[in-house]
Amino acid sequence: MRNSSAATERADPPETELPAEMRAAVYRGANRVTLETVPVPRITGRELLVRIHSCGVCGTDLKKIERGLLAPPRIFGHEMAGTVVRVGELVTKFTPGDRVAVYHHVPCRQCFYCRKKLFSQCEQYRRTGTTAGFEPAGGGFAAYARVMDWIVEEGTIPIPAHVSFEEATFLEPLNTCLKALETAALKPEEVVVIFGQGPVGLLFAQAAVNEGAQVIGLDFIQRRLEVSREMGARFALNPNQDGLKSVVGRLTEDRGADLAVIATADARAVNAAQDVVRRGGRILLFSNTVPGEMIPVEASRICMQEQQLIGSYSSSAELQGKAADLIFGGRINVARLVSHRLPLDRFAEAIDIASHPSEDSLKVIVQP
């Protein structure tokens, strides 16, 4: 069932009523985020100012905050959607009042890495193109965000009237999953084991089912396994209890899974994936994004059994349209994944819920 909140989401004040200051969740170092009053960003002639309605809490936000991975101060939040409230005088594609979702990275499409379709390694892509102040870091955890010119041109997506802001925040995370499955060369009828059935794992499950794969979702939280089955997984199992290898064997004539996706930060999943994937199968690392983290692997399986260890990071500019079609057309159910909606003044609670998965939690949305 479609989310009906799109029709009732608030309108924003006309341009003349915009405030000079706003509230924002400002990262001040490892495990230190404070609610502060900061200036509303100024824009230039080719930029937009967007009033943020909803911004998803991403696992990368949690890692950056908890581990202090970046120098403060910054305002994080990149899974964002809202209303255009101010446009630069040279902008022709958007007008105040337009409802939009915003990517924070867009590649140049011309460099060595772009020609290789390694868009996330492009130098322009590595520059964050949205900010609510300080060093650009997304900006979705604030009332307003500035959208820079190259993001206006290539990374700002109009939201159809029947789609809610919440649903639109999933465009970027779904894109990352689509890119990962494309990188792993997923084929119809293949058996895919997805380690982790949190919000990202459930996006992977739906995307793989949409491609015609047979999905086995793994998680330790019973409620997440129930949702995984709702989302189309053929099996959803607790790996400590439910005989994973036996189930995989029945589906594959005892060969092993064709692909394993690591959609959990638990490094032990990589060894478990090697144990369940067939000879010549693939293991996709998706959630292992902490610099310096070392993960043991059984090298002989990569060499002698020709298992492939693959990595995928961030989104693809070439998959923006596909992600939009899947969400806007209702083929990927993202509204079902939202468990918590919290205002900005409860940001610490939002981070705590997202950091400590439970039977009651899936995707946490901050609404500044």
Per-residue pLDDT tens digits for 58-99: 999 999 999 999 999 999 999 999 999 999 999 999 999 999
Summary count for the chain: helices (H), strands (E)? 12, 16
The alpha-helical segments, DSSP class H, found in 97-238 are 112-115, 149-154, 165-168, 171-183, 199-210, 222-230
CA 326, chain centre distance (Å): 15
- Tell me what pLDDT residue 17 has: 81
Distances (CA, A) of 79 to 22, 64, 172, 310: 19, 15, 6, 25
Strand-pair category, 48-56 with 21-29: unpaired
Percent of the chain with pLDDT over 70: 96
Residues in the chain: 368
Contact between 217 and 235 under an 8 Å Cβ cutoff? The reply is: yes
Q: What tens digit of pLDDT does each residue of 303-318 get?
A: 999 999 999 999 999 9
**What is the residue type of 150?**
W
Banded pLDDT at 50 (limits 50, 70, 90):
very high
Q: Are 139 and 206 in contact (CB under 8 A)?
A: no
> For 185-311, CATH number?
3.40.50.720
Contact assessment for residue 265 and residue 287, using Cβ atoms and an 8 Å cutoff: yes
Residues of 297-325 as b/e, b for ≥16 C-beta within 10 angstroms? eeeebeeeeebebeebbbbbbebbebbbe
Give Cα separations from 300 to 133, 279, 306, 338 (angstroms).
49, 11, 9, 41
Token pair in block for residue 258:
């064709």
- Least confidently predicted of 110-114, 207-211, 293-297, 345-349: 293-297
* pLDDT band, very low/low/confident/very high, at 118 (cuts 50, 70, 90): very high
Residue 178 confidence (pLDDT):
98
Query: End-to-end alpha-carbon separation of the chain, Å?
Result: 26
CATH label, 4-173+316-367, candidates 3.60.140.10, 3.40.50.970, 3.90.180.10, 1.10.3430.10: 3.90.180.10
Q: How far is CA 219 from CA 215, 248, 277, in A?
A: 13, 16, 17
The confidence band for 4, taking pLDDT boundaries of 50, 70 and 90, is very low
Neighbouring C-beta atoms of residue 280, cutoff 10 Å: 12
- All structural domains of the chain with their residue ranges: 4-173+316-367, 185-311
In tens, the pLDDT along 330-344 reads 999 999 999 999 999
Supply the pLDDT for residue 9. Answer: 61
Question: What band does 1 get if pLDDT is binned at 50, 70 and 90?
Answer: very low
Structural tokens at position 192: 């895919």
Given a cut of 70, whether residue 3 has pLDDT beyond it is: no
